[in-house]
Structure 1
């Protein structure tokens, strides 16, 4: 049976579950006078069925029920619907049990006999808390969608990467992101955090490549006052700041061996000591590490601890370089055009020739390089179309105009070399080459035939 749309029931909908018929009839009548719509049920076994049939705003649940006690019903309800606020109804003798129920997910409890104004306040708070919770959930969903939107690409390599992120995100497993500079490792780490149960907790980025060798431990673990010259007060380290959330160790391969051993201890025990401190500090953090280096080779060369490598390599995700997902270049380029051209008066787009040229470039700087190229092209382009001339020379091709046996080369020689260069970039596809060269395919064919003769 479909649940009715909440808009069909303007009044807040309450489910009252209590085996005392006399009390329930009076209570139900008073709740109705408060402008609530109330369903009543005395059989605890039917609670889950009713919750499946209608969308209730609040559940009022008696702790003592004849066949299944309220605590057991509460546990079943929370498995079915974590967002539904449950208010326990109890006598004075069972207040301890009511408090226990709150630890198990109940929103609050009401002690019989209770005042009606007290009932109204608790129910209103429960509904307001639910609205806030649902609003936060929508916000988290929106943030996740925005992060997804930045993980641009429909290539198999990219779709496989996103699938791996979705699989590992809900767990607390340590993740190692491997990929060249500019491939989007930080974005992947943010998405893993956003899709995890730690989404509302801190996401702390540690750029290991920029940490000074003498200050790295202070940054990561903090220090006590007087720990070293200049330590005028206690400082909390980045792991303490991230407690409950996620620490993203970017370029972990740059951490020195001594700090590696202390990092290993945190991963294994969740404990560390501040620099100059004697007390152990416990933290609950998830670690996501990233590197553009081959940690396996670094282990062989004794530059990276083998035990730490195995600890962070629980779940490894390789972020593909742009040259391995060239079918995503157009979508990425258009995204950056839209992103950058919002501040410009004239919308712009790439010409077919420019797109083909970009697709035939290997992008050693990956997505970061592509974004920079797009920004540069938007500035240089004087029309609504970004053309080949607006691209950097390293993408268009840079030619040596001097010949070995003479000072200059003829135009036909340079023209022939350039045509061969473009054909090579297009893997021999004459239609693509003609589009880049700006000539009719028949003209290109005649030129090639003439040179062969």
Structure 2
């Protein structure tokens, strides 16, 4: 059974060990630290349900730790000091400190505080966990285990979640897992913000007759997701004025996104899960994501690692996809001997989606039982510029590569922006934004800007 965790930060070894024994008897898993550096390292990788904090430490004040960690990801803070001061007490009042205790203190007093914290957090940790919600998140890499843990922690709450990760890394799967873990009776409604023109997106989200002052229409995805989860994929592709309207809707009284799993309020009418392929802070810097919407949809964040950073998960996933296909087609195929090395050599820029496609292609097209899974690499036969190819030298700036690819593709499709967007794998809005940024209205047949 999982235990709540207590971090005891104190350079007095005698006191720290005694406090650790009290915490252990109260049901905590205990971690001792003597310096701020040790505490920061521990909190960067582990949630602490209770932080027992001394103020006088070899490398600074214990209060500095509160400025360096995301307190929303951790539990309660208790100050224990032998040198109380008005300044430290006033600073503690402005933070989530639940107790300010002065040494020497009565052990019964400290134990009472620990038992009160343990009583609040232990029911959450000990509650039965339905692992079926994350059964689709396959792999053993530590980065993926962190994603699974985040889904299991945030799923049962009403917190809005922003999922970030490269294309094909599994953002929609995480959204589905969050909805399954939430226990909500309403539906999971998905809206791909990159697939629709701005005018159509307004109607798809709020309804055909939605007005900013009139509130959501009963025909939009926003209303259809009531009692369930609304998954906004590629939310940074949503027009800024529509982002403002959505942020306002999420901020209306009664929307009530509750975060306290120990004392949950009534479920919020709609649970928001959003996804973005880039770093959200970069999107805000580039004016593709409004800060007010970001803060509304990112009460919790889950970052998906690219497949190339997950080590041997590529082999685990390949076996998983083959087993699913075997179950579906009632066959007994397998990865060919030595096939693991070929999988590990490829960087899989298309992530899990590319791997799944490669496995399915091998399964359907290859004869025999042993499957040789190979990535579908682009042809290397063309090495000179033509009407349908571009030659770049090593060291060409990425911005120049993007510009030339956009202009060449527009020229090929006779300035058809929809076809261009489809060929480049981006949204039509992205094409319009890039052209506006470059100050280009159209391109000639030779790919030159006009």
Indicate the structure with greater helix content.
1
Answer with 1 or 2: which has the greater Rg: 1
Scaled by the length of structure 2, the TM-score of the pair is 0.49
